[in-house]
């Protein structure tokens, strides 16, 4: 048993600021109280927060950092001929693995203990990320895809078969977007994935053009089509059209926003204030390592400030931290993401630099201010990496 003593704890689903001790045993938080047992870690002057969850990343792109800057988005990321796809095709797997490992350690060093990866390249692609993560103490949720999904003539039965095969070695399925697959394929992916108790996700409404193309071709927005297909997680939502906000709110589907990625690609920012007003469950992700470091503190700071600048009004910092912790834990059905009894002990212990613990994390925390990253009760040896 370990006790983190006398820290400022961001407790429960509302990240309530309390002075308390956190008792950890067998990888779980057993008590948050004045008591202390077992080995004691001094938490004075520190904040204990839930470790961060990066809900959308493309680790495979780690090898293409900052390439293609200034080119149109389709030229950079649209499969199968985007710049990133060509770089990946030309890079040996052993090199890709090294870059992926570096990104995983960067996440741990900056307080992230869980990531959700969009993985290309079918079974082989999934094998690469699984192998890269083998000796790294980070929790991964790998969402694979198969090239055959892009074939407009593939039958739903064939899609289901491919999905079942992939799900033997990964945690879910994520096609790039509704622009590349038919609605029948989308529905077969979502249906089969749900039947097997796994996660389906897709990019939606990343920029205006994909939305207008979708409406022109199918009469529906990408968001409507993704919701109707039955996807369980939506990524981006930067350019909602028509009544997309209401559609997502009614569906209850959690949505991952990636404001730094949207900023890099000059496509706008998601309507995060309206999404919060509609009670949409908002998560945060750093998206392609090609555009951004997978550092969730940087994502949180950018998100908070760009929202305030865009709306010209106050936006609460604790809501931003929830997007990187509590909301993601719930949406991904992890027993993590908040500090309360019975949850997995996935925590960050950071120096409290200012009097406002939420802003101290968002505005001030550099990797050097993170004293410990704890995953399932074990201290992650980030300093030696
Ligand atoms: Zn993405």
Tally of domains in the chain:
2
pLDDT of residue 81: 85
Assign 14 to helix, strand or coil: coil
- Residue 302, domain member (yes or no): yes
Checking if the pLDDT of 210 tops 80, the result is yes
Q: What is the DSSP string of 137-160?
A: --EEEEEE--GGGG-TT--HHHHH
Say whether both 239 and 161 belong to one domain. yes
State percent of the chain over pLDDT 70.
100
Both tokens of 159, joined, read 């899609």
pLDDT of residue 179: 93
Q: Which one is predicted more confidently, 88 or 238? A: 238
Distance 157 CA to ligand 1 centre (A): 27
State percent of the chain over pLDDT 90.
90
- Residue 384, domain member (yes or no): no
Say whether both 340 and 311 belong to one domain. no
- Residue 385, domain member (yes or no): no
Say whether both 44 and 68 belong to one domain. no
CA dihedral (266, 270, 272, 274) in degrees, to 10, reads 130
Maximum distance among all Cα pairs of the chain, rounded to whole angstroms:
64
Rounded Cα–Cα distance for residues 212 and 217 (Å): 9
Rounded Cα–Cα distance for residues 355 and 373 (Å): 22
Distance 238 CA to ligand 1 centre (A): 12
**In the chain, which ranges are continuous DSSP H helix?**
73-77, 83-90, 93-109, 122-132, 156-166, 183-195, 208-218, 222-229, 244-251, 259-264, 272-277, 296-311, 317-323, 326-331, 357-359
- Residue 82, domain member (yes or no): yes
pLDDT of residue 66: 92
Q: How confident is the model at residue 85 (pLDDT cuts 50, 70, 90)?
A: confident
Q: Are the beta carbons of 85 and 79 closer than 8 angstroms? A: yes
CATH number, domain with residue 317:
3.20.20.140
Rounded Cα–Cα distance for residues 115 and 51 (Å): 11
Distance 342 CA to ligand 1 centre (A): 32
Distance 235 CA to ligand 1 centre (A): 7
Say whether both 224 and 372 belong to one domain. no
pLDDT in tens, 217-259: 999 999 999 999 999 999 999 999 999 999 999 999 999 999 9
Distance 166 CA to ligand 1 centre (A): 19
Checking if the pLDDT of 86 tops 80, the result is yes
pLDDT of residue 301: 98
Say whether both 114 and 170 belong to one domain. yes
pLDDT in tens, 286-302: 999 999 999 999 999 99
Q: Are the beta carbons of 52 and 38 closer than 8 angstroms? A: no
Say whether both 315 and 230 belong to one domain. yes
Ligand 1 (ion): which residues have CB within 5 A? 287
pLDDT of residue 161: 98
Distance 170 CA to ligand 1 centre (A): 18
Say whether both 73 and 157 belong to one domain. yes
Say whether both 181 and 62 belong to one domain. yes
For 272-287, b where at least 16 C-beta lie within 10 A, e where not — what string?
beebbeeebbbbbbbb
pLDDT in tens, 158-189: 999 999 999 999 999 999 999 999 999 999 99
Residue matched to tokens 């910092």: 317
Distance 263 CA to ligand 1 centre (A): 13
Mean pLDDT, all residues of the chain: 96
pLDDT of residue 221: 98
CATH number, domain with residue 7:
2.30.40.10
pLDDT in tens, 6-59: 999 999 999 999 999 999 999 999 999 998 899 999 999 999 999 999 999 999
Distance 335 CA to ligand 1 centre (A): 24
Q: How confident is the model at residue 383 (pLDDT cuts 50, 70, 90)?
A: confident
Checking if the pLDDT of 74 tops 80, the result is yes
Checking if the pLDDT of 126 tops 90, the result is yes
Rounded Cα–Cα distance for residues 321 and 324 (Å): 5
Q: Are the beta carbons of 373 and 358 closer than 8 angstroms? A: no
Distance 13 CA to ligand 1 centre (A): 27
Say whether both 114 and 165 belong to one domain. yes
Q: What is the pTM of this model?
A: 0.97
C-alpha distances out from residue 372 to 4, 23, 53, 317, Å? 11, 15, 16, 22
Say whether both 259 and 200 belong to one domain. yes
Say whether both 42 and 97 belong to one domain. no
pLDDT of residue 84: 86
Distance 206 CA to ligand 1 centre (A): 9
Say whether both 323 and 356 belong to one domain. no
Checking if the pLDDT of 385 tops 90, the result is no
Task: Tell me which residue range forms the domain holding 25.
Answer: 2-51+336-379
């Amino acid at each position: 048993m370990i006790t983190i003593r006398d820290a400022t704890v961001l407790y429960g689903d509302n990240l309530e600021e309390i002075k308390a001790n956190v008792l950890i045993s067998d990888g779980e938080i057993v008590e948050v109280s004045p008591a202390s047992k077992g080995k004691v870690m001094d938490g004075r002057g520190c904040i204990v927060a839930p470790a961060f969850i990066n809900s959308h990343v493309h680790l495979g792109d780690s090898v293409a950092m900052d390439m293609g800057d200034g080119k149109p988005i389709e030229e950079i990321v649209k499969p199968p001929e985007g710049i990133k796809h060509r770089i990946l095709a030309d890079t040996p797997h052993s090199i890709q693995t090294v870059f992926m490992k570096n990104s995983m350690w960067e996440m741990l060093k900056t307080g992230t203990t869980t990531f959700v990866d969009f993985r290309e390249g079918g079974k082989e692609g999934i094998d690469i990320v699984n192998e890269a993560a083998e000796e790294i103490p980070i929790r991964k949720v790998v969402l694979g895809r198969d090239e055959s999904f892009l074939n407009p003539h593939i039958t739903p039965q064939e899609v289901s078969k491919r999905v079942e095969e992939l799900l033997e070695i990964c945690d879910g399925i994520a096609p790039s977007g509704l622009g590349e697959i038919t609605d029948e394929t989308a529905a077969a992916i979502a249906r089969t994935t749900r039947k097997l108790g796994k996660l389906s996700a897709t990019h939606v409404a990343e920029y205006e053009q994909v939305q207008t193309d979708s409406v022109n071709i199918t009469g529906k927005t990408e968001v409507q089509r993704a919701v109707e297909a039955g996807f369980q997680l939506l990524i981006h939502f930067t350019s909602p059209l028509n009544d997309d906000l209401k559609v997502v709110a009614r569906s209850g589907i959690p949505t991952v926003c990636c404001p730094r990625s949207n900023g890099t690609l000059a496509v706008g920012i998601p309507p995060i204030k309206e999404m919060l007003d509609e009670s949409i469950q908002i998560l945060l992700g750093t998206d392609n390592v090609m555009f951004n470091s997978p550092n969730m503190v940087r994502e949180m700071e950018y998100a908070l400030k760009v929202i305030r600048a865009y709306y010209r009004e106050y936006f609460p910092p604790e809501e931003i931290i929830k997007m990187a912790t509590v909301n993601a834990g719930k949406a991904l059905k992890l027993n993590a993401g908040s500090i309360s009894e019975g949850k997995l002990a996935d925590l960050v212990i950071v120096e409290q630099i200012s009097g406002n613990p939420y802003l101290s994390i968002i505005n001030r925390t550099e990797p050097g201010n993170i004293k410990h990253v704890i995953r399932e009760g074990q201290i992650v040896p980030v300093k030696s990496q």
